[in-house]
């Protein structure tokens, strides 16, 4: 496998641990800093919301820089933010440091994906994108369970030191191996947001908001959702995270191959349906350990296939404008994660853990309804939508 792609994936691996491990650290953070479980869960919301808001702003500020320099700045900020988190003595400072880490992550992930696509022939772009996204899925398979175990057995701060160290290693790797890549990008924020005026792009990004919102309504509070199945055991919960993470890797890898073979448009509706069904079964699955394991297998596949298909679709619409569109897509995903963390926290306090799956499924059903409306509109008289997107995105870039 291409060493440059692996190096880029190492950065997304570190970011993936940082973004997703909070689900396994909610309890130790809550106990150490003297805050409620739902409050500790808002660390996910703050990180995700900061990522979503800062991504287009920082992309505008760094538009004239080479993508390699942007990647180096991004990993430096990310590593610094995690060091501050590990040292923080108050919940307020922890929240503030999450903003710093999110700023770095928001700059890194879309640019790493765009660089991977730029360095790869068109016929292999789906697999190249899946390798970079694979850093996130491997993080869920290896990093998140290990980080959660470290947080429970030793300290949640030790987990953040691990993330900071991985960020530093990724920084060194990018500096040594990744070449300087220049891709056109708009210099003004208004131009950067221009693709949102295209209905095809705006609808696709709203799908990302709703799908990730649904998934992270459950994932952020997975320990609470599966408490009956695990009996509160850290070891059993870590095992569930292992199963979810391993199947997420399968989903991401399978997604790259399916996209190259079948195309993204055929795959995306099916994965939305699958994600909605899985989320609706959360409460039933959480009653026993065996069903919880089976549920985690199913939970790890459709969303990650969809993520690969979505990014491939955006690169397909505008290869030269891919950093712009992938940045907007990342913002949409993290808006969804923020919504999921907030909605899950409210549901947990108001109706208990049994409500999480239903709230998540409702958000995915909304995404399906939006998809049905957009497909009906495309059939009834807007056949030129896709070419217009390509032109608009290219003009914006």
pLDDT per position as a tens digit, 40-74: 888 888 998 998 899 888 888 888 888 899 999 99
Q: Which residues contact 304 (CB under 8 A, 6 or more apart)?
A: 133, 137, 248, 251, 252, 255
Q: What's the CA dihedral at 227, 230, 236, 241 to 10 degrees?
A: -40
Cα–Cα distance, 192 to 325 (Å, whole number): 9
For position 320, what pLDDT does the model report? 64
Q: Which is nearest to 103 in space by CA: 130, 132, 89, 82?
A: 82
For position 397, what pLDDT does the model report? 26
Tokens of 293: 């394991």
Cα–Cα distance, 349 to 110 (Å, whole number): 34
For position 184, what pLDDT does the model report? 62
For position 174, what pLDDT does the model report? 92
Is residue 228 within a helix (H) or strand (E), and if so which, with residue range? helix 227-230
For position 375, what pLDDT does the model report? 64
Cα–Cα distance, 170 to 176 (Å, whole number): 10
Contact predicate 258/304, CB 8 Å: no
Q: What is the pLDDT averaged over residues 203-228?
A: 92
For residue 396, pLDDT beyond 70? no
Q: Which is nearest to 70 in space by CA: 104, 101, 98?
A: 104
For position 62, what pLDDT does the model report? 86
pLDDT tens, position by position, 360-376 = 999 999 998 887 777 66
Angle between helices 264-280 and 234-262 (to 10 degrees): 160
pLDDT tens, position by position, 166-186 = 999 999 999 998 888 776 665
- Cβ atoms within 10 Å of 66's Cβ, excluding its own: 15
């Amino acid at each position: 496998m291409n060493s440059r792609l692996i190096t880029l994936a190492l950065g997304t691996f570190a970011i993936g641990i940082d973004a997703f491990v909070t689900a396994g650290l909610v309890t130790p953070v809550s106990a150490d800093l003297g805050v409620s479980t739902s409050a500790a869960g808002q660390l996910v919301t703050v990180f995700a919301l900061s990522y979503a808001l800062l991504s287009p702003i920082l992309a505008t500020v760094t538009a004239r820089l080479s993508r390699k320099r942007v990647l180096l700045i991004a990993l430096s900020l990310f590593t610094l933010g995690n060091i501050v988190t590990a040292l923080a003595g108050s919940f307020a400072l922890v929240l503030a440091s999450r903003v710093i880490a999110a700023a770095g992550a928001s700059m890194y992930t879309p640019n790493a994906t765009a660089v991977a696509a730029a360095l790869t022939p068109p016929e292999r772009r789906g697999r190249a994108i899946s390798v970079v996204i694979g850093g996130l899925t491997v993080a869920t398979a290896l990093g998140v369970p290990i980080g959660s175990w470290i947080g429970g057995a030793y300290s949640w701060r030790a987990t953040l030191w691990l993330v900071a160290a991985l960020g530093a290693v990724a920084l060194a790797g990018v500096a040594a191996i990744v070449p300087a890549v220049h891709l056109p990008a708009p210099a003004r924020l208004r131009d950067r947001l221009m693709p949102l005026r295209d209905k095809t792009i705006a609808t696709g990004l709203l799908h990302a908001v709703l799908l990730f919102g649904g998934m992270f309504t459950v994932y952020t509070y997975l320990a609470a959702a599966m408490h009956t199945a695990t009996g509160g055991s850290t070891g059993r919960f870590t095992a569930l995270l292992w199963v979810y993470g391993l199947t997420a890797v399968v989903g991401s890898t399978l997604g790259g191959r399916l996209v190259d073979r079948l195309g993204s448009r055929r795959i995306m509706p099916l994965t939305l349906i699958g994600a909605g069904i899985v989320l609706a079964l959360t409460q039933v699955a959480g009653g026993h350990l065996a069903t919880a394991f089976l549920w985690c297998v199913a939970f790890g596949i459709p969303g990650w296939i969809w993520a690969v298909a979505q990014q491939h679709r955006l690169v397909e619409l505008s290869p030269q404008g891919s950093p712009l569109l992938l940045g907007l897509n990342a913002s949409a995903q993290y808006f969804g994660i923020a919504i999921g963390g907030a909605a899950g926290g409210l549901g947990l306090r108001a109706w208990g853990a049994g409500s999480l799956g239903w709230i998540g499924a409702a958000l995915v059903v909304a995404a399906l309804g939006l998809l049905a409306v957009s497909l009906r509109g495309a059939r009834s008289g807007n056949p030129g939508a896709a070419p217009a997107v390509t032109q608009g995105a290219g003009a914006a870039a």
